[in-house]
A and B are shown apart, each in its own frame.
Chain A
């Protein structure tokens, strides 16, 4: 795949010129997306999709307010018109656009990914499906594997003009295993800029077949230790992602307000935001409004070190941008986490179960559930979990709901796994948590 030279990437100056006389300052972000996706259904039907998307975002500062608009067309006049219209009621402009940028250094294109074509994606997907069949002859797999190439160019009226290109693969797979008591589904998603990391290790995500027989529950409400798979831990961290955002802070609903510098989590927990991770799916040398990115610990051995900010939330909070601005092409930037890496501990999952004794291993969460961003409270249904007695998995749990509070749960982590696994764009270990309510 190759970037189209006629794409909107080359039109950032043109749109800035168009609004120069009617705005106090302005910013244009051109994005060119190319994607090849191979998908397989459970019955083996294969599809190959090729997508290109040529986007241009415009943000203008006018009469003390911010106007924004985005387009997936070449119609710059309409883009300018929409941004002007939204500046009549948009957010107050409380900061200045940067005039220069020293991009951070990070590897974004794995040389192994560059020659990958749809047939390579299909081969790898089919190999994974065969791995599933080797373990579960009656099982099936469906899902997709995509290769993304993305080019960005950011320019503003203050003189900033910078660009970069990145590549990554992304997968979204579901393994279904029929049992005598319904179908067990195991979902796994991930993204990485490294071809070596494409698709998870089947040995990790596929349970031993003897675990799939239903086991009688024996978890009294409260007090049951819970071991969370990286996939389940990722769902829990969604609340943390919202709470650590400077946007939640300035809007007054982050439960982490007033906690900077305090040891409020388990001292086994260290969470790093790593935009400079080589070949990370969410890595970038600068953020969506031209602030250089930097790696940082959000939680350091239990101590909450601070919020993430973009320019707007930083100005409201009296802080500096942390280089975490992310944006949809037609919306205002918002502070977002990049690649979250949780520091590993000392234990294998087997050791964690053994040490936890009578416990529950939560492997898969039914997507959705309810989480309260204001408080961190959650109530999640486990679609796959296991009953463990004296450290041994006795079988699959039937209906099981886990409830609690994200921040209390993160303060009660009692063990951390020794290996990290990709889940979405994050890299997470198994963790054991005390004191979640299990019904």
Chain B
């Protein structure tokens, strides 16, 4: 299906008039039409297949230094939502005033053609591909359970502001997660991939399934490690997740402003790691789900260096956090959809590579753990906890026996400080779920890094 409609165009024109006529401190209007499809196939059964077609908007009014906001579905509610947002701002008395940074006033329309547009592929064909991958996984090894999760989003979004911002984008994102569980010890192997573009990206993944089956056979074990401190080599995927979860969120300026206790730890210029550590957030990495031309405040996406030579040098900003610091937005004011306000969020975040190949890193490590992928994890900003998907014992610089998945935890800054070596190859990843923060879930992001050798990490 295609998601344009005449009523949406009428709403956009109405919103342009509202923002032109607004005489208060600040108004922005975000309008969106979106089609979402979530398909879950488990074994021979389709478990979930909820298509949705939504239209709605988000109105934000700054009045008396306070935000009043309103979200809505149903196109006829734009005017009444503006009134509600103004009333909500007036409900607030007392408290600090919000000062926004100057916006770019960007005027731009973007949209890239896909090789195989999502709307041109019948839903049934998408379901059959999920089923086919499930069948292939089931056929690859005896008695394995298989599960495929396909997710697509196609949307048209428009952002307009009383400062002259007029931006519009048509965007498609699709991806897949493949999971197989089996063996004597219920070992799980998974792969996830997604991109900004068409359906062609998820086709022809048969070779990946063969690799997964080989991996499952090779690391089906009930052996666990003894909890304690270990030297740990993490693969690029886990390094990327650590960079995003354990460090990236700390670079979100709204988090910093809300955490006076961390003010000293997060002061720009502070040395947080060895000179080899460089961290970047880059919204311009084309095709990555975390990339974008402009954020949900209409500010252009850009590359922002967060750590350079092991020192904190940058932060991610929205118009609000930049205004509070007297700086400019870095184009990181992002929202999951029209129901949510823009908050400071990452785009494509990665640890820059170093110069050692994997063999040299293993030799340098000598003994410890080699961890690959991640099945889950969390952070309360000062501490983190992540569980690898795969784990192996390393002895004499060689990857030896597999063990059950390992959970590593500790202080974010201790881990950054314990980086001993960086691999020479950067790999980027994008799952299909995206980033969750607070009550906002599934914001498309990308993350990556090289292999990273950590001197000492608590693992169990």
Contact = CB atoms under 8 A, between A and B. Distances in A.
Interface string A32-50: 0000100011111111111
Interface string B91-133: 1101110100000000000000000000000111001100000
Contact of B377 (A48, A178, A368, A374): A368
Interface string B77-89: 1000100110111
A86 B128 CA distance: 12
A94 to B, nearest CB: 12
Nearest to B378: A368
B53 interface: yes
Given A46-B92, A78-B1, A330-B50, A41 B257 contact: yes
Interface stretch (A65-73, A97-105, A158-166): A65-73
Contact of B70 (A7, A40, A49, A90): A49
Contact of B124 (A36, A89, A329): A89
Chain A contact surface mostly = mixed
A54 B380 CA distance: 34
A331 B38 contact: yes
A183 B1 contact: no
A182 to B, nearest CB: 5
A90 B46 contact: yes
Contact of B53 (A49, A71, A383): A71
A439 B376 CA distance: 19
B376 A72 contact: no
B409 A54 contact: no
Nearest to A91: B46
A439 B380 contact: no
Interface in A390-437: 399, 401
A206 to B, nearest CB: 17
B383 A45 contact: no
Interface string A78-118: 11011001101111000000000000000000000000011
Nearest to B259: A42
Contacts of A55: 73
Interface residues of B, number: 77
A366 B49 contact: no
A69 B70 contact: no
A230 to B, nearest CB: 19
B202 interface: no
B69 interface: yes
Nearest to B254: A41
A119 B258 contact: no
Contacts of A117: 91
Nearest to A183: B261
Chain A interface residue bracket vs B: 35 or more
Contact of A178 (B48, B261, B460): B261
Given A44-B96, A54-B74, A90-B46, A370 B69 contact: no
B460 to A, nearest CB: 6
B200 interface: no
A48 B88 CA distance: 6
Contacts, number: 212
A36 B71 CA distance: 10
B291 interface: no
B55 interface: yes
A118 B86 CA distance: 13
A51 B77 CA distance: 11
B71 A52 contact: yes
Contacts of A86: 49, 51, 123
A82 B380 contact: no
B339 A70 contact: no
A75 B5 contact: yes
A48 B378 contact: no
A108 to B, nearest CB: 23
A52 B45 contact: no
Contact of A43 (B36, B87, B91, B257): B257
Contacts of A401: 227, 407, 409, 460
A245 to B, nearest CB: 13
A370 B382 contact: no
Given A44-B95, A78-B1, A367-B378, A85 B50 contact: no
B106 to A, nearest CB: 25
Contacts of B42: 251
Given A45-B98, A69-B51, A399 B458 contact: yes
Contacts of A70: 50-52
Interface string A298-326: 00000000000000000000000000000
B95 A379 contact: no
B67 interface: yes
Contact of B96 (A45, A72, A368): A45
A318 B281 CA distance: 54
B67 A47 contact: yes
A367 B1 CA distance: 38
A55 B53 CA distance: 10
Contact of A370 (B47, B56, B91, B375): B375
A242 to B, nearest CB: 14
A89 B53 contact: no
Given A73-B73, A140-B260, A332-B49, 5 more contacts: A75-B53, A89-B128, A91-B46, A185-B380, A368-B385
12 contacts: A6-B76, A42-B259, A45-B96, A47-B68, A51-B339, A70-B52, A75-B5, A85-B124, A117-B91, A331-B48, A370-B375, A399-B409
A-B complex: 8 closest residue pairs judged by Cβ atoms: A368-B378, A331-B50, A330-B52, A330-B50, A72-B54, A48-B88, A72-B73, A73-B55
Interface of A: 4, 6-7, 36, 40-55, 68-75, 78-79, 81-82, 85-86, 88-91, 117-119, 122, 140, 142, 172, 176, 178, 182-183, 185, 251, 328-332, 366-370, 374-375, 379, 381, 383, 399, 401, 439
Interface of B: 1, 5, 33, 36, 38, 42, 45-56, 66-77, 81, 84-85, 87-89, 91-92, 94-96, 98, 122-124, 127-128, 186, 227, 254, 257-262, 339, 341, 375-380, 382-383, 385, 387, 405, 407, 409-411, 438-439, 458, 460
